[in-house]
Chains A and B, each alone.
Chain A
């Protein structure tokens, strides 16, 4: 058995309510997802815009409030934390945002951006702050002299390095990278990805890596979960997801990635429709309207398919999988016991044996 996960998310649900004129509109951004992240692991959450991946990250960090479900970090119930306890917890978990042009205060110097966390959490005082900031900047590949510069004087890649230094300043255990390399040029992206991997290994960080590009995920993550309209539709070890993906959405996403060699060009039928947002209104599988291979019978539309081990794979904990049969996405004791670690699971009625 694997060690106890450092982060355990169970049946997390986040509902957004529109504010403004007219009747309030409700959209379910995250619709009951569960996953585990083991200490030192890099877990990738992949999906297209509106699928709920960023909302999940923000709910974990308590930047927004979850509607229901539990988020447990190292035995602590994160949703119950208040005041000083929450502040202390935030030192342990940090985030790097997508756009380094908006995530850094343009009126603060690099030194004060990186040093702020040190002061807030009383990790350094006086001259110590500058010395620590200098070390951090060097650690992320900038120079100590950059401390006096402003974000506007830096390139996109340099700014993202500042954002990483800021996150690392408080010496966190857990780092969320929310599309941290998506806005960067391809050569810069490769450099920042390499930096993230080396920092993670050197500091033994646990990472939640959020991306919309499967190609970026493959090199950094050990476990991948694919989200679609607020739900995880497939998850498993990175090898299984790329070599033996079972969900038609995962496959479509893989197929949609452009070839890297013009000789590999091939005719293909792109998936129709839009990724959309705010699913959960229809009773069945959210992917059903776009699915290239929907069931002839009503099974796909009847209920949301639960996450189960795919046909022909004897996943760890498959004994518990059978008990999840009627759960249809709701919580069940067996599903909880099964864990949501690194086993390959898929939420598609056609990818799992009917007997389960």
Chain B
């Protein structure tokens, strides 16, 4: 693992809001092409950490390197090199599929020809070419999730952050979504993902679990299950977070 290229490096990250310490000395690394599961109970400090990693919030102290840049000092450099997909798809419901690609492609600074090429590439891959000129609101939820993911990686980021990407989708689409994640990681993009589905934690290469602002467990699902003498990741999570 250590000879793999490091994409995220977090060292002694502390984030305070007044007297409240949301992130209390976080230390971890994530590598190129890795699927990294970022788990924790509600209120454990996950969202705070993700915001910092994405350059939306700055650390109180500590160093956070993402895609080769110090997020605290160069948040804009980081933003250009990452993709982000939020819980409830970040696409515009009143734009067509093509327009959504064009809008985000423009924000990421892609050329018109690159946007065209990437749009065609993803629509073909998802077998959704017939949706190109459809308004997003007319498209089923499962398809939207896959589109939102494609839009988040259309500028070929070094790392993509997925915040509960599969909430509310049906069990087949959920699995198809994870196949997309696998494929993306296999092509070298690092995937940083949060989820409340514990079976999805098993799909990650490594998993960290946060509680009360700290990372209390970090390892492969197999290691964590062994360390906590548990059959499933759900049991591990319950033992840690309860």
A and B, one complex? no
